Structure 1
Amino acid sequence: MSHPYVPRDLNLVDYAPNLLSQSTILAAYGLASLFVVSLIRVISGKVPKISKTDRWLMCWWAFTGLTHIILEGYFAFSPEFYKDKSGFYLAEVWKEYSKGDSRYAARDAGVVAVEGITAVLEGPASLLSVYAIATGKSYSYILQFAISLGQLYGTAVYFMTSYLEGDNFAASPYYYNLYYIGANASWVVIPSLIAIRCWKKICAAPQLQGQKKNKVR
């Protein structure tokens, strides 16, 4: 069955079109993300006895944590962002993303709830994961596992509510695939891989502990 691509919510009263171009919005986000990743790579390089995988995980958690807190936090606590006519970057981001999912401009209750919880809980927890990995805290794997499950649950709710409501929130196939599908793919694939890795590490811990006890005896 063909997708209708008839957005329900982009005809809101006082809706202000984007002042920044798509290329400007995406380029700024890309450069900011690259800066964060590069900075964490430099910092993690000074941490002794840390694997390459953990260095990349520090980058991921820093990137996703700041995304949750800054971007999603702004959306959750700025109910009239779609009216902004000043060209403020964060408002421009969400007006642009609303072309792929107009529930954001319409302040859909389910979307606001998911994004609010993500910003308030998962954002700070993600940054805590950076610290936990860098300092070798015992709760590192449990924390990463819990956040990853939270991200997967939030993404599942996000997609399922859209499907149950008709999945007709995109302005075109281009925006549907770029934003609704593409922009959310990372929060399906990467948390899944991290959750699997952490689960294996957590399950292996009792076995390692048992081996140490046997050696002591």
Structure 2
Amino acid sequence: MSDFSAVFTKTSAFSLAGVVLLGTVAYLASKALLPKGTRWQDKYVFVWLAFDALIHFIFEGSFLWHSVLGREVNTGTGMFAEMWREYAKADFRWGVSDPTVVSLELLTVLGAGPLCCFILYQLVRSDPARHYWIVVLSTAEIYGGWMTFCPEWLTGSPNLSTSNVLHLWVYLFLMNFLWVIIPLFLMVDSYTHIAGTLRSVQGSAKAKKGQ
């Protein structure tokens, strides 16, 4: 634990507390907006998508603000610049406005964020069409993670710091693995709904033909 205590700073604590705060806001939003009788799976989906949207707009949006409209994170000022400098200790590319990372974040903030909100609206209205958009969103999230890390793995991870517990297991693993495992769950759940509905329609059509 000595390596963890040596690198865990006030900025680390405030950053992780911010993540917890956004998760709490997402949970409270689900309690306030979802209709009674919503199945438990959809409640969890709502919480995740609300959390996902908040992360994209607030945290990643601040990264784009510094990287595209202002100065890169390493020379920026303010609370969010400090937060991203903290993360950049684990992945150096986030501090210098790496073109690949910025390109992916443009799609994430301007594409995935609004799509999360649209799916949340469909969830509140109990619109089954959300399952198609969940598959689209989840595919994009997983692809974004792949394109963030695969180039590093292929080149020996020169920009990643894996020398301590905080950088490796909290920043690099946990804060990115969530955007792989949860979208995979959502894709499987939505596939079950889409495939089940289509098979039911197909079975009804065949039954009518056989009459």
The one-letter code matched in structure 2 to 1:173 is N
Aligned to 2:174: 182
Cα deviations by residue, 1:125-171 (Å, 9 ceiling, x for unpaired)? 01111111121224210000100000011111111011123213234
Aligned to 1:22: 12
Aligned to 2:45: 57
User: How far off is 1:62 after superposition?
Assistant: 0.6
User: How far off is 1:89 after superposition?
Assistant: 2.6
Aligned to 2:201: 209
Aligned to 2:164: 173
TM-score, normalisation: structure 2: 0.83
Give me the whole-angstrom Cα distance separating, in 1, the residues matched to 2:169 and 2:159: 12
Cα deviations by residue, 1:50-71 (Å, 9 ceiling, x for unpaired)? 2111011011111101211221
User: How far off is 1:211 after superposition?
Assistant: 5.0
Aligned to 1:76: 64
Tell me if structure 2 keeps the 8 A contact 1:144–1:195: yes
Cα deviations by residue, 1:69-115 (Å, 9 ceiling, x for unpaired)? 22112212312232234xx3322221111111011112111111111
Larger relative contact order, structure 1 or 2 (CA cutoff 8 Å, min sep 6) = 1
User: How far off is 1:193 after superposition?
Assistant: 0.8
User: How far off is 1:34 after superposition?
Assistant: 1.4
Give me the whole-angstrom Cα distance separating, in 2, the residues matched to 1:24 and 1:74: 16
Gaps (5+ residues) in structure 2? Answer: 1-8
Residue 96 (structure 2) aligned to one of 102, 106, 114: 106
The one-letter code matched in structure 2 to 1:99 is K
Give me the whole-angstrom Cα distance separating, in 1, the residues matched to 2:41 and 2:101: 32
Give me the whole-angstrom Cα distance separating, in 2, the residues matched to 1:211 and 1:29: 46
Equivalent pairs: percent with the same residue? 23
Of 168-177 and 184-193, deviating more is: 168-177
- What is the aligned-residue RMSD (CA, Å)? 2.2
Q: 1:158 to 1:176 in 2, by over 3 A?
A: same
Residue 184 (structure 2) aligned to one of 158, 183, 192: 192
The one-letter code matched in structure 1 to 2:54 is L
Gaps (5+ residues) in structure 1? Answer: 1-18
The one-letter code matched in structure 1 to 2:40 is K
Between the two proteins, the alignment pairs up a number of residues equal to 195
Tell me if structure 2 keeps the 8 A contact 1:100–1:178: no
TM-score, normalisation: structure 1: 0.81
